[in-house]
Structures are given as C-alpha cells and as structure tokens.
Structure 1
Amino acid sequence: MTPAEAEDGAEIIVDFAGEQFPVRPGEVFTVGREGDLAIEDNLFLHRHFLTIHCVDGLWLLANVGSRLTATVTDSGGRVQAWLAPGARLPLVFETTTVIFSAGPTTYELIIHAAEPAFQETVRFSDDAGQSTIGEVPLTASQKAMILALAEPLLRREGTGMSELPTSAQAAQRLGWSLTRFNRKLDNVCDKLDRIGVPGLRGGARAYATNRRVRLVEHAIAARLVTRDDLPLLDDEVTNADEAAADEPI
C-alpha cells in the first residue's frame, strides 16, 4: 500500500458464508457471478452486481447491475436503504448488512469497517425498553407468516445464502390453507407498502415471487423477525392443529 492509499482510510472486511475478504483502499471489490466474491451457480445474478471501493477516505457500496436491488442496513436494523441499480451508498457504520435476492435464493453478506465514520452513542427506546424506530405493529399470525418464509435464512449459521420456500410450502409449514396464507401475505405487504417500503408491489407476472423475497429482505434487515422468534412457528402449528381437531367431523 502506498502512502497516498493509506491516507484514503483503513481496510474493511466482507464476510460471506464464513469466508472473510479484506478490502484495502485503492482496491475495487466486486460481487456477482464473477469477481472477488463469485457466486457462479446462480444465473439470475448479474455477472457484476455490487462493488465496494474507497473514495477520498469514504467507503462506497455501489449497485452496478441493471435489474437486481439490495437492502442495506446497520447492525441494529435502525437505518435501512434500498440500493437500486445505478445507486451507491457510503458505508459509515462499524457493521453493515447487505441482503439481496437473485431468483428464489437470498444472500446475506456483512461488511465490517475498521474505522467507521459513524459511532453509535444512544439508542432511543420506549418505556418498556424496546426500540421504537421503524416499528411496524404485526399480529401474531402475520409474524408467523413472515417467519415461515424467513425460517431458512434465520436458521442458517452465519452469513450466506438460503432458498426461500414457496407460499404453498410456507402454508404447509404453518398448517394453514394456501388461501389463508396468501390473505396474510396480502395484508402484510399492503401494510408495509403504505409506510413506504419499496418492492412489495409489481407486475402480474413477477409479483408473487418478488414480493416474498422482498418481504423477507425487509423483515430481516428491519428486525421485524429474528432467530429468537422462531419458536412462534411451532406455537402457530400447535394452534392450527388444535383448531382442526375442534372442527366437526
């Protein structure tokens, strides 16, 4: 590293599926089917999708693809951005999470900054000690619906990729009918769309798949559901079984 590069800032580390990639000032780190982080087996992914590089001491994450988007959030899920094609964002937090989907597969990578531009000092809470920033009220069944879709991503160890279930598979996981599941999915997508969450509405052809992956991206990034919530899935399955048992023969 030259003295000029050293003045640009400290290195960052990209963590994906347990593998760490150090990126130094003066380098351009590329994520896609080709590049420094190559995900070769997904034809839905751009050849070059994301880049990370340092400009005047500030690390930037750029979407150099043409169709796919990425959800970018701080480690606490309080700040969230939707990185569209052609957009770029400064990486100012000590830990930044990037979630994106290509086809039915969702990926997560974490970026660690050695010298972040932003230092957290205070986290505002309500009287019960719960964070209220970006809070979205959900019923128990709505939360269970999101958990059924996000379960593979929440259960996997560390960062990496997960295949999201179809609506039929998620409904079966909960012991619900597909009609009930789709009604809950409609309600949650409408609720989030009304508060400005992008990507939950689309054309008739791609809408069913796209809204599921986008919902999971947002739910994970905004901490609407976490790994600690997974036992609620089994509670919902038990409730569904008890309700079926009470039905007249």
Structure 2
Amino acid sequence: MSNDDWKRQAAEQALTYVEDGMKLGLGTGSTAAKFVELLGAKVKAGLKVVCVPTSEATRAQAAALGIPLTTLDETPALDLTVDGADEVDEELRLIKGGGGALLREKIVAVASDRVVIIADNSKLVETLGRFPLPLEVVPFGLAATEQLIIKLAADTGCEGEVKLRKGTDGKPFVTDNGNHILDCAFDAIEDPEALDDSLKLVPGLVETGLFLGIADVGIIAGPKGVEVLSGIEIDFEEDE
C-alpha cells in the first residue's frame, strides 16, 4: 500500500468520531482532503453536519461536495476538528503549516472541543524539526522580523536556514490572510515549548506552526495498520 492509501485509512478512522448534528472544523492538506472527500459522501447519504473550513482550498472542496459550511463568527464553538500534520511526536505535539494555512488551522482547532489529527506513519517522529517549521509573518518589516526570529530561536538551541516561502510563480507565497511564510530548517527542536514561547515575542510574527497541547487524538496509518494515539509513548523501532 502507498502513503496515499494510508492517508485514506486514517481519514476513514476519523469518520468514526463524527456524529449526526456535529459542528466540525475541516483541516487543510492532502490528508485532510481525504477526510473531506469521505465526509462529503456521508453528507450525501444523509449525515447532518455544519463545517468551518481552515482554508479557501478546503472551502472550495467542501462546497463542491455539498457539505454545509459556516464560519467561526456564526458558529464560534465546534465539536470536533479533523486535520492533518506535517510532523507528529509521541506527545501529540505537531508541526503544521506546510500548506500555508497554519493560522486558520490553529484558530479552528482551539475553538473545538476535540482535535483529531490524521496522518500516514511517515509523519511520526521522535523529535520535531525535520520538517521545516513554518511561521506566518506580516510583510511589513520582514527583514527585521526574520533577524529577530533567528536570534530568539538560537537562544533556545534552534539554528538553521530561515527562508521566505515562494510560490510556483517565484514570488513570495501569500497566505489566505495576506501574510508570508518563513520556513525554518532547525532539524531538531528539543524544546518546542521554549521555542514557541520565545518566538511569540516577535512583533511581526502572527503565529507559529507548532501546535502544542492542542491535539487530543492522533490516527496514524502505516504498514502495521491504524494506530490511535493519545499522547502515549510510541515504539520507533524499524519495521522488520
């Protein structure tokens, strides 16, 4: 089976958490898109839900599938959010933002009673940081913001290349909120909480891609099947 198959398996498992009448948050990214696709089929079959998408891309997909949509202004408290992750560690700490939707994803997740993260097993890591950490920043004063980020990150033991994300057109990537993304190749983030606290001192930084203490359940699919994690210790030994 491929990573794509495992993503679908994780999404299928997440559907078991959805009940009729729920208010849902819909994540962004390739794995979350599998969940939205499956949810659309359930809605077509009669499931009653109302959903808040975390990006314009997810909004377009959900609308095309006939999934009823709302906003956090209209529905400020959600029952459940299902989203993907770029990295997940054994304590269900996450790196998110590879798709550029980290700010909306975090706002929606925090507005939810429960957050279920779905991923294939390639996203499971012992230490966060192999995937470059995305930071959403305002365009104004970008060079000064970047310099301060580098300094404060180094103070917490995180060093590496910090790059402005570019779009396919070669121009700076622009989020749905009109901001930019800095991708930080720290390789290993030994103390995510300290890094997150430090970075939030930067005035030009809107939000970090560290999702700490937010996920309630992780559904990880891979060669061994589907694992449902709740912040318990994970065996990282290689598959035989």
Larger-Rg structure: 1
**Considering the TM-score relative to the shorter chain, is it more than 0.5?**
no
